[in-house]
Amino acid sequence: MAKTFECARALILDKLSPLPSESVSLLEAVGRVLAEEFKAPSDLPLWDNSAMDGFALRAEDCGTAPLKIEGYIPAGGTAEGVAVRAGTAVRIMTGAPTPAGCDSVVPVEETEEADGRVLIKGPVRAGEHIRVRGEDVQRGQVVIAAGTVLRPAEINMLAAFGLNTVSVFGWPRVAILSTGDELVEPGEPIGPGQIVNSNAYSLAAAVRELGAEPLMLGIARDNRESLSEKLNAGLKADVLITSAGVSMGDRDLVCDVLQEVGVESLFWKVDIKPGRPTAFGLKGETPVFSLPGNPVSTMITFEEFVRPALLKMMGHRSVIKPFVKARLKEAVSKKVGRLQFLRVQVVESGAGLIATSAGDQNTGILRTMLRANGIAVLPAARGEFTAGEEVDIHLLGAVADLGQAG
Ligand code: AMP
Ligand code: MG
């Protein structure tokens, strides 16, 4: 019996866990997921320092006579042997350690200097323009939780403590196998009855977009020998994705041969349109996604099943894309009992998002996918959706970015 969409996706996610962690250079770390919480090995900043180019002094000495300038601490210099005494000021640059005896820094633009003395023009609050040791992060504090996706800001934090490598969850190597006697690779001559293996390329692009590594296995022909050889090769990767050969035709052998090579089937067929023949299995820990061959079905089932699975293996905590709400521009009617993924154009109307069909919803039509920046997920239980009704959308791109127009 076919699974519901939610049940099929939950089953997949339930079987998968993050890959073992590895250490990568900070330069390679953006987009990766932190495997262990990061505790500050020291305070940040490490020492009190000046937030401005100006003068270090005592707030209480200001507003009367000019202060005698005694000493200079540039960035990179030390405050050793330098001290502020009553009635004196030390010239200091941004980032330089503040000298003993001072409680404030006054920016140079708020001062007047003459004859080795500095006059402070306004009142000064004690503590002004000093960055205090540990004010940002205290030693031992958990600064970045495990499972955090590393952005430039997290990388800056790690680098600020002197790290040049970081422990992150592994990124899967994803084998991609196309199946079909009719397929030729891009660049090869296209003979009668042949079509180009475009699925392998959209899948590789989608895998790469997530940051994982695609492994191109090429084409298996619609016979047991060819399929079992290629499937066995694919099972050496962390994940195997196949396309086509899972429908009801007499040459649709993928599910059979997967079983022969030891893949345990967890489901075959989901109550969705497009994508009904999608199958999922496991050999040991290795997940195998068998996606339908129609290029649009392949792309949509990748988006809805494989994407969250890969994110989970990569250590992400939130793997299911959140829905955005949009109102349907026109009524939509569909079959009750099957969830439908409707390719839509989502635009901002000023009063919320509006979703319009991106064109012919036939899975043979590639152009509709070019126009779509979202997939409306229409629940299985319902058949009629009225114009103006709010539906759930998985965005595929920016709302303003409608892809190829027309
Ligand atoms: P199948 O499920 O094997 O009958 O394939 C369904 C449809 O998808 C057929 O029209 C195939 O020609 C097409 N198809 C299968 N594999 C690919 C591929 N790798 N690239 C593009 N189209 C494909
Ligand atoms: Mg086929």
Would you list the domain boundaries of the chain? 5-19+171-313, 21-44+135-169, 49-131, 324-404
- Preceding omega of 45 cis (within 30 degrees of 0): yes
Q: Is the CB of 180 under 6 A from ligand 1?
A: yes
Instruction: Choose which residue among 179, 226, 243, 256 to substitute to test ligand 1 binding: the one with the highest number of ligand atoms within 8 A of its C-beta.
Output: 243
Give the per-residue pLDDT at 195: 98
Q: Is the CB of 22 under 6 A from ligand 1?
A: no
Q: At the top level of CATH, which class does the domain 49-131 belong to?
A: mainly beta
Evaluate: CB of 227 within 6 angstroms of ligand 1.
Answer: no
Tokens of 79: 């405050």
Residue with CA nearest ligand 1 atom 15: 293
Which tens digit of pLDDT belongs to each residue from 19-50? Answer: 999 999 999 999 999 999 999 999 999 999 99
Query: What does the block give as tokens for 174?
Result: 């994803």
CATH of 5-19+171-313, one of 3.40.50.720, 3.40.50.620, 3.50.50.60, 3.40.980.10: 3.40.980.10
pLDDT tens readout for residues 283-329: 999 999 999 999 999 999 999 999 999 999 999 999 999 999 999 99
| Ligand index nearest the alpha carbon of residue 293 | 1
183 lines ligand 1 (CB under 6 A): yes
CA of 255 to the centre of ligand 2 (A): 12
Q: What residue type is assigned to position 294 of the chain?
A: N
Q: Which residues of 103-113 are buried (b: 16+ CB within 10 A; e: fewer)?
A: bbbbebebbee
Whether residue 275 has its Cβ less than 6 Å from ligand 1: no
**Of the bound ligands, which one is closest to the alpha carbon of residue 295?**
1
Note the CATH number of domain 21-44+135-169.
3.90.105.10
Residues 112-144: tens digit of each pLDDT? 999 999 999 889 999 999 999 999 999 999 999
Sheet containing strand 117-120, strands side by side = 104-107, 54-57, 88-92, 67-73, 117-120, 111-114
**Could you check whether 21-44+135-169 and 324-404 share the same CATH topology?**
no
The class level of CATH for 324-404 reads: mainly beta
